[in-house]
Structure 1
Amino acid sequence: MTQPRRVLVIGGGAAGNAVTVLLRRAGIQVDLVEARADWNATTGSGITVQGNALRVLRELGVGDQVLASGYAFDAVGITTVDGTVLHVQEDARTGGDDLPATVGMQRPRLQRILIDAVRASRADIRLGTTAEAIEQQGEQVLVRFSDGSERRYDLVIGADGISSRTRGQIGITDKPEPTGMAIWRAPAPRPASVVRTDLAYGGPAFIAGYCPTSATTIYAYVVEANRDRASIPPEHFADEMRRLAREYGGAWTEITPHLTDPAQVNYTWFDRLLVEGSWHRGRVVLVGDAAHACPPTIAQGAAMSLEDALVLAELLTTRQDWDERLLQDYYERRIPRVRAVVEASVQIGQWQLDGVRGDVPGLMYRTMIMLKEAP
């Protein structure tokens, strides 16, 4: 009798959770280890989930929960600094005509939905645990964990994010590079007038925007040139975001007064990462932000991670041989699409940094039309 294959997934974010559910559905044994004891279930303000991400979430069996938990819309507005709406652009339904173009939702809510799906899959889950050593042994990988245990696997999937330890452990030296921008994010109550994402370009920041995340909530964000993180004490985060936001009109006059709790405000630099050539070494392969990451200027980070999980799981569950060809085919199928998203996301920010009036709507439209095709 053939011994069932066993896979280790390192990291319980969107990509790691998704690939775990898909592999378990096919009967593959999966261990998932996540460094954080809370499984990131309380972190983050909001997330913009576009149609191609919704397509994957539906495949995972959680699409209806996501739609019920978020706020769906099909357009983006461009406003002046004072809040005057200049243009409303219909968004492409990248997941198909039967799905909304976009769902905004609270990031912790999406994570909890995915966590529940992983638990229901009966994967072996260990929280507060890291992979301390990874050793290739022919067609298996020996992994030693922070709790002192060790186990052999037929495949290891590194889904441990932009600062991935797995990436370095297998000898891939690529590291994220700052793009020159940073973002302030915070949750707030939803003004009645906010029914879609609206973006204001200019003013004291490059971009000021907001996205509805439920019937009663939004997340707001302000993008500026990055600053030395050490120069901004966390206890002043709310003051800094409020200082920038109060220069904007329209719905911002209702949003800004709620930006008072520094613990609810997140400050993050924009980074770029794109591993070229392959995303694997031996029987260890990267997915999601461990292999590629980009600024959220077209809101495709989570979607690209979920698509990685879908494509890798499809190959692993439809091919007999888990070999070099399979893992290279995964990379070659993903890289043109991911590269286009990373380059477009970085280019939009670079135009702003350079003070150049680039064709932002045109670039976004071309990228979204490309993403309508199945990954």
Structure 2
Amino acid sequence: MSTPRTVLVVGGGAAGNAVTVLLRRAGLTVDLIEVRTDWNVTAGSGITLQGNALRVLRELGVWEEVEESGYGFGSVGITAPDGTVLHAQDDLRTGGDDLPATVGMQRPQLQQILIGAVRASGASVRLGTTAEILDQDGEGVSVRLSDGTESRYDLVIAADGLGSTTRAAIGITAKPEPTGMAIWRVAAPRPAGVTRTDLAYGGPAYIAGYCPTSDTTLYAYVVEANRDRASIPPESYADEMRRLASSYGGFWPEITEHITDPAKVNYTWFDRMLVEGSWHRGRVVLIGDAAHCCPPTLAQGAALSMEDAWVLAQMLTTADTWDDALLQAYHERRIARVRPVVEASVQIGQWQLDGVRDADVPGLMARTMTMLRELP
């Protein structure tokens, strides 16, 4: 067998951490580099993990930790802006009947769990480090790290996110594009009655929602049309989110009273991107947000990224040789699954932007989630 044995993973988010653990488990030598010195442990408020994400986390060996740290639930509520529950729908268990439909958790807690798995795997980790592709051929890639060291790898996996510098460096010109929406997010204490995600449509925002992330916490979010970020000073973030959230009833007044610290409020635009054609150039291959991103209207961003890691690791560790045909097969296997999720996520948001009142949102969501129940 001539399977290459050395891999550089660029980026220590969900995708990069996952692929590192899986490749190390198969006995490969893996170096992981991450530009942020804090390894992203302070980034984000909360995350919604659908069953297909939980399936990968179980494969990584961290499901028990996720289950203990997060908050599992099986339905979503639709409410009027005043908090009146209009409809409650059971979520499809996309990870199989032996996993919850959904787990909400604090994003930094998920990152800590994944970091623990990477550390336990024995991978070499360098933080505050970037990589420059020097050259490559059919056998490998020469890389210079920002600390001045140079190494040769059989494969480089670019998991460096939406603004991937590796993607640009290998000549892939795709860039994220704004969809026209933006989201305010904050972590807050969980009112005792919040036991699932509830979504309110209408009012001053397109969506106002929340998701329990533990026995004591939740994250809340408000979606509006995107604004010029330069016109919103960071010190006003809490005031801006509180202004929008104060129009909603039900549990929102209790949540809103905790939106006081602008440093804990996050404001980001919704973006979309899907790299067309192959996701590799030679021995450099993209996974996760470096290859695709979509609005969180289906809560599938992290799930798709971790699925990329799982599929690529499976293919790399079962192939006799790593070549162009293998990496192209990875792309073809993933694009058939990723494209409909990206398109559905964008479409749901566009219907709201266009004010389409008779859009079949439930039908589109049901078709997409049913597809995701199948193994990637």
TM-score range, shorter chain: over 0.9
2:338 is the alignment partner of 1:365: no
Task: Look up the match of 2:82.
Answer: 82
One-letter amino acid of the structure 2 residue matched with residue 298 of structure 1? L
Name the residue aligned to 2:114: 114
Are 2:55 and 1:55 equivalent residues in the alignment? yes
Equivalent-residue separation in structure 2 for 1:59 and 1:205 (angstroms): 38
How many Å separate the matches in 1 of 2:295 and 2:135?
A: 33
The answer for the alignment partner of 1:222 in structure 2 is 222
In the alignment, the residues of structure 1 paired with residue 66 and residue 43 of structure 2 have an alpha-carbon distance, to the nearest angstrom, of: 17
Distance 2:20 2:31 in 1: 8
Matched-pair contact (CA < 8 Å) for 2:4–2:322: no
In structure 2, the CA distance between the partners of 1:115 and 1:204, relative to structure 1 (3 Å rule), is same
Number of residue pairs aligned between Structure 1 and Structure 2: 375
Runs of 4+ with deviation above 4 angstroms: 1-4
Q: 2:168 aligns to what SS in structure 1? A: helix
Q: 2:331 is matched by which residue type in structure 1? A: Y
Match of 2:182? Answer: 182
> Once the 2 structures are TM-superposed, how far is the Cα of residue 2 of structure 1 from its aligned partner?
7.5
Q: TM-score, normalised by structure 1?
A: 0.99
What letter is aligned with 2:236? Answer: H
What pairs up with 1:1-375 in 2 under 5 angstroms? 5-357=5-357, 358-375=359-376
Q: Is the 8 A contact 1:4 1:29 kept in 2?
A: no
TM-score using structure 2 length: 0.99
Q: Unpaired runs of 5+ in structure 2?
A: none
Q: What is the alpha-carbon distance in structure 2 between the residues aligned to residue 4 and residue 141 of structure 1? A: 12
What is the Cα deviation at residue 138 of structure 1? 3.2
Identity of aligned residues (%): 77
Say if 1:185 and 1:219, in contact at 8 Å, map to a contact too.
yes
**Structure-2 change in CA distance of 1:2 and 1:92 (3 Å):** closer
Question: Secondary structure of the equivalent of 1:258?
Answer: coil
Given that residues 10 and 160 in structure 2 are in contact (C-alpha distance below 8 angstroms), is that contact kept between their aligned partners in structure 1?
A: yes
Gaps of 5+ in 1: none
Does structure 2 retain, via aligned residues, the 8 Å contact 1:105–1:214?
yes
Letter matched to residue 24 of structure 1 = R
Give the deviation of 1:5 after TM superposition.
Answer: 1.3
Return the alpha-carbon distance in structure 1 between the equivalents of residues 78 and 344 of structure 2: 19
Distance 1:297 1:160 in 2: 22
CA contact (8 A) 1:316 1:322 kept: yes
Measure, in 2, the Cα distance between the counterparts of 1:89 and 1:97: 17
The residue type equivalent to 2:288 in the other structure is: G
Q: CA RMSD in A?
A: 1.1
**Counterparts of 1:19 and 1:218 in 2: how far apart (Å)?**
28
Give the residue type in structure 1 aligned to 2:369. M
